[in-house]
Amino acid sequence: MTLSPGERTIYAFFNDRVAARGAAEALQEAGFEYPFVDRLDRHKGADYLSASTLHPDGFGEQLGEVDFNRGFFFTLKTKDDLVNKAIGIIQKHEGFV
The pLDDT assigned to 55 comes to 47
Sequence-distant (≥ 6) Cβ neighbours of residue 57 within 8 angstroms = 84, 87
Residue 81 region by backbone torsions, left for phi larger than 0, else alpha for psi between -120 and 50, else beta: alpha
Q: Tally the residues of the chain.
A: 97
How confident is the model over 9-66, as pLDDT tens digits? 888 888 888 999 999 999 999 999 888 887 766 555 555 555 454 445 555 555 556 5
